[in-house]
Amino acid sequence: MQKKIISEYDKKKMYNKEIKPIVEQLKAKSAMLGIPFFFSACVKNTQEESEYVNEGFLCGSGDIVLKDDRITPHLNIALGFRAVPPDESLELVLDEDPDAADMMEALYEKTKTAQ
């Protein structure tokens, strides 16, 4: 496996001049129309760190309640939180080995009673 070479750049001035005005327009229009959004851009990257700019019109900003709010988790990731897989059942597919199936069933029963 090849080691990836870090792309080094500093595009903060370019972002501020070219992109930020557009994002500010998007924020204003989204607020006016009541459409929540989240935007993230990596404006600087070095061997030591990556620097991001995060913008948006968030649900709480307009007292908007979403049925499936995906914006807040995106923001949490941008703030340094780690993603956790959804709490769903995991289905295992075992081969034809009956001993493995018995062992997995016993393990399942053991974890079920421990809860």
Rounded CA-CA distance 115/61 in Å is 40
Rounded CA-CA distance 3/55 in Å is 32
pLDDT tens for each residue of the chain, 115 residues long: 788 899 999 999 999 999 999 999 999 999 999 999 999 999 999 999 999 999 999 887 768 889 998 888 888 888 888 887 776 665 655 555 566 666 666 666 666 555 4
Model pTM? 0.65
Of 115, 40, 112, nearest in space to 76 by CA: 40
